[in-house]
Amino acid sequence: MKKITLVFAFMLAVAGAAAQSMYVHKTDGNVYEFKVSDVDSINFAASTTDDYFYTVTYMPNGGEGDVVVDTIRYGVSYTFRNYSTTFTRPSYAFHKWNTREDGAGAYFTVGDSVPMVVRDIKLYAIWYESSGMENGYEWVDLGLPSGLKWATSNAGTVSKSSYYDVASSKMGGTWRTPTYKEFEEFNSNCTSTWINDYNGTGINGRIFTSKLNGMSIFFPANGYYNSGYKEGTNEGYYWTAGASYYFYFSSSSPSVSSSYGIAGGDVYSVRGVCE
């Protein structure tokens, strides 16, 4: 919003007349009259950017939801919106905002802040498929930095002493067992909630929900087998690649631990990942 430029003139009456006036001509064409006797002083202030306002417009770009427009005063820090408060798109997950709808422009990540907005900005939601199939098995994309996709069901079980890559062997394609670091990435980028009787199946376990894109995946608490006997009811035990570590959870927080001291005959579950 620009300040109005004032143009004034003193109209002095003829000698002996009592009235003196000042006329203010605004840029919109209006003219205002002030008696000079009512004016104490006149100050001219340069126009400043404090009165400038800009807009950040969010476009769904194939998603569902109304266009959102934020108005920001110049010089005020601004944080880019979370996708979940604006748009959704079935079977897709939100990636980032981009200045072009084809994703070829400048990217802005949710939660990023800029010290000030100096022009109007239009941002487009960029989406990617959040689920799909690999060699007949379903995967979910949790938006992890590695880009790994996680299987929605277990590949099978195997003991420590007879370990082999169950995911690769049984699921084929590009499926494999995740490494220690990949389980760490998964765990650190997800929140989890204990669930009883998941979807009416009678199976308990934990739902892991991505902090990055909101997608979820269920891990059943199958326990483990020791010498043919099932142990660890309502606990989850999953091998990492090589069986040097395992992923564990119960009703408490999940973690990745060393398998040192685990009996060779203990049989744990395996969950696959693919590129």
SS (H, E, C) the chain: CCCCCCEEEEEECCCCCCCEEEEEECCCCCEEEEEHHHCCCCCCCCCCHHHCEEEEEEECCCCECCCEEEEEECCCCEECCCHHHCCECCCEEEEEEECCCCCCCCEECCCCEECCCCCCEEEEEEEEECEEEECCEEEEECCCCCCCEEEEEEEEEEECCCCCCHHHHHHCCCCECCCHHHHHHHHHCEEEEEECCHHHCCCCEEEEEECCCCCEEEEECCEEEECCEEECCCCEEEECHHHCEEEEECCCCCEEEECCCCCCCCEEEEEEEEC
Assess whether 93 and 58 both reside in one domain: yes
Assess whether 124 and 179 both reside in one domain: no
Assess whether 141 and 205 both reside in one domain: yes
Boundary of a domain, candidates 102, 129, 156 = 129
Half-sphere exposure of 199 (CA within 13 A, CB side): 6
Distance CA 91, CA 82 (A): 18
- In DSSP terms, 216 is beta-bridged to 209
Distance CA 198, CA 45 (A): 68
Sequence letter at residue 239: W
Assess whether 107 and 148 both reside in one domain: no
CA terminus-to-terminus distance, the chain:
51
Q: And the tokens for 147?
A: 């880009």
pLDDT value for 15: 33
pLDDT value for 3: 39
As for how many domains the chain has, the answer is: 3
Sequence letter at residue 76: V
For the chain of 275 residues, list the mean pLDDT of each consecutive stretch of 10. Answer: 38 43 71 78 62 90 94 89 81 88 91 84 91 96 94 97 97 98 97 95 95 91 91 92 96 90 94 96
Assess whether 142 and 242 both reside in one domain: yes
pLDDT value for 35: 81
Boundary of a domain, candidates 129, 160, 194 = 129
Number of Cβ atoms within 10 Å of the Cβ of 130: 21
Distance CA 79, CA 59 (A): 16
pLDDT value for 232: 85
- In DSSP terms, 143 is beta-bridged to none
Assess whether 120 and 184 both reside in one domain: no
Give the CATH number, domain containing residue 91: 2.60.40.4270
Assess whether 71 and 182 both reside in one domain: no
Assess whether 185 and 208 both reside in one domain: yes
Boundary of a domain, candidates 129, 161, 189 = 129
Single out the residue of 252, 267, 250 nearest to residue 154, CA to CA.
267
Assess whether 20 and 141 both reside in one domain: no
pLDDT value for 266: 95
Assess whether 73 and 120 both reside in one domain: yes
Distance CA 107, CA 205 (A): 37
Query: What is the span of the domain harbouring residue 11?
Result: 1-47
pLDDT value for 236: 96
Assess whether 214 and 107 both reside in one domain: no
pLDDT value for 4: 39
Assess whether 178 and 136 both reside in one domain: yes
Number of Cβ atoms within 10 Å of the Cβ of 37: 10
